[in-house]
Amino acid sequence: MLVLLSLAMIVGELQYKVFTPIRPYLTWLVTPIQVVVSAPQKMISWAEMHLDSRENLVAHNQSLNQELLMLRGQLQRLDSLKAENVRLRELLDASQRVDEKVVMAEVIGFDQNAYSHKVLIDKGFSNGAYVGQPVLDATGVLGQVVETSAYTSRVLLIADASHFVPVELARTGLRSVLRGTGDMRRMELMSVPHTADIKKGDILTTNGLANRFPVGYPVGVVRNVRHISGKPYADVDVVPLAQLGRSRHVMLIERAEEVEK
């Protein structure tokens, strides 16, 4: 019956244009059906498109994060190189102010504990290093060589409790001995009378006595002077000027008698 009805409608449309006047109205009726039928496919397409877009965004975000991490690493390296360049310029300037012959060296290791403060440098006796040789950084006296091998040497830092440096007060010429305490940030000036003209901020330099360090190199700055009743000498705390434990590049100073040899 439906087949006959369909055939009749087709013949009527072809021969007599029966449905032409009402075709626009039929389109209104069919459109909602088409929308409902096509909705699932559109939803699937929309979901696939947005899911693919989200995956692309996540991948792009991860790529940007990785690139940012790499750039930050490069920036840190650049900052480190800039800081090292500044230190090298300071060391070069300091070496130009040194009258004695100098050999540049690099700190390659640390040997610090409660009993000893030493650093390892990349110059040995094959480079002219010798036991007792003074060592400076860009800001002051660092220590002296206590052990050498062919290509490396150990330097005892002035903050070591067994280290003593003959010094004088740059302002007044007062002579004394600066002793390490084992603390990298504090040394003690020995046998300073209570009547001595010494105050916070005074600079101490090597005085050349005992033939250990050349004359006139900065060693430390007075941080505090205490006068305690009953004690024969004043307590004088000194801060080392050298960057103990932090300097990477140092200078080995050849004393005049060593150069002559």
113 backbone dihedrals φ, ψ, rounded to 5°: -150, -170
Contact 109, 119 (CB under 8 A): yes
**Which tokens is 238 given?**
């000194």
In this prediction, residue 260 carries a pLDDT of: 45
In this prediction, residue 165 carries a pLDDT of: 93
In this prediction, residue 81 carries a pLDDT of: 53
What span, in angstroms and rounded, lies between the C-alpha atoms of 20 and 49? 40
Helix (H) or strand (E) holding 2: helix 2-16
Count CB-CB contacts under 10 A for residue 17: 10
In this prediction, residue 144 carries a pLDDT of: 94
Contact 117, 142 (CB under 8 A): no
What span, in angstroms and rounded, lies between the C-alpha atoms of 89 and 76? 20
In this prediction, residue 259 carries a pLDDT of: 44
In this prediction, residue 138 carries a pLDDT of: 82
What span, in angstroms and rounded, lies between the C-alpha atoms of 222 and 182? 17
What span, in angstroms and rounded, lies between the C-alpha atoms of 31 and 29? 6
**Residue at token pair 């903050």:** 159
- This prediction has a pTM of 0.63
Reading the chain (261 residues) residue by residue, the pLDDT tens digits are: 655 655 555 555 555 555 556 555 555 555 666 556 666 666 766 666 665 566 777 777 777 776 776 666 556 555 545 555 655 565 566 555 556 678 889 999 987 666 689 999 999 999 999 999 999 888 889 999 999 999 999 999 999 999 999 999 988 889 999 999 988 899 999 999 999 999 999 999 988 887 788 888 889 999 999 999 889 999 999 999 998 888 888 889 886 555 444
